[in-house]
Amino acid sequence: MELYLICEDSLEGIFSGVYAAYAVKRPHQEIHLLVGEEENLRLFAEYQEVPADKDKAAKVARTINREFGTEGYLALCRALASADAEKGEAIYKMIVKGLSMKDPRQVMGNLPDPHVMKVFELARYSANEAHFLVEFLRFRELENKILYAKIGPKNNIITFIMPHFADRLPLENFIIHDEKRDIFALHPSRKDWYVVTGENAALPEALAQGFSEDEKKYSELFTHFFHTIAIKDRKNLALQRNMLPLRYREYMTEFL
């Protein structure tokens, strides 16, 4: 009988599912990892919920980092950030494949394997979106001088873009808000950044204060500059959409 392990959509949840899959001592081809429950249950299948466990997840993470190396571990983390519903199964089966290889560090090169290929594609898509957001994210100054940026990525990649801005703005207080997941990444001046969810976030009241007068002035100037600098005879909307997809524009100052 097939066993389907149901885990939550998080690194701790999926790694806890991988830990549970090895703990049941059954052939891996009979075990499947689901992120969230299926709408239609399968016949002749057993379902088991796996709660997220930080200690178990940490053990799996250490094993992956040791066996697959930093690059392999980072690829898995990027795939974990994907919004794809089948990522749990792909990650689990890739780990099984890698640990069965003579050199697990070569697992990402085994692209003929469908699960490895799936993880490779998910990791690349998340990395590409993070790269786009590093370029397209726009901060706006609130009345109390905190910098605030809103994003709405398809994948949960806020932890991949925060190091970039924390490294370049170490003296600034800033917040990046993923409105689709209600996640806030906060960076206090001269301190380490951290992530909180909307329901647990003790966010400053400044978020409700609106933007500063200087921000409104310079936003208007920048928007005017953006729309007047273009050369009409060289306008290429298809190329613009290729270089700057439409879904990013609703969060960019020049398109507000």
Q: Which of 77, 109, 129 corresponds to the end of one domain?
A: 129
- Confidence (pLDDT) at 232: 81
- Confidence (pLDDT) at 6: 94
- Confidence (pLDDT) at 235: 85
130-136-141 Cα angle (round to 5): 115
Domain that holds residue 231: 137-255
- Confidence (pLDDT) at 170: 96
Answer yes or no: pTM beyond 0.85.
Answer: yes
- Confidence (pLDDT) at 136: 94
Interacting residues of 247 by C-beta distance below 8 A, sequence separation 6+: 152, 154
Q: Is the domain of 165 the same as that of 227?
A: yes
Return averaged pLDDT per consecutive 10 residues of the chain, 256 residues in all.
92 95 92 85 87 95 95 94 94 95 93 95 96 94 92 95 96 94 93 84 63 91 87 86 91 88
Q: Which of 129, 161, 181 corresponds to the end of one domain?
A: 129
- Confidence (pLDDT) at 206: 54
Q: Is the domain of 143 the same as that of 224?
A: yes
Q: Is the domain of 27 the same as that of 107?
A: yes
110-36-92 Cα angle (round to 5): 20
Q: Is the domain of 93 the same as that of 118?
A: yes
Q: Which of 54, 15, 46 lies closest to 30, judged by CA? A: 46
115-53-153 Cα angle (round to 5): 55
Q: Is the domain of 235 the same as that of 125?
A: no
- Confidence (pLDDT) at 205: 57
Q: Give me the sheet containing 147-151, strands edge to edge.
A: 140-141, 147-151, 174-178, 183-187, 194-197
State the total domains in the chain.
2
Q: Which of 59, 112, 121 lies closest to 91, judged by CA? A: 121
Q: Is the domain of 97 the same as that of 198?
A: no
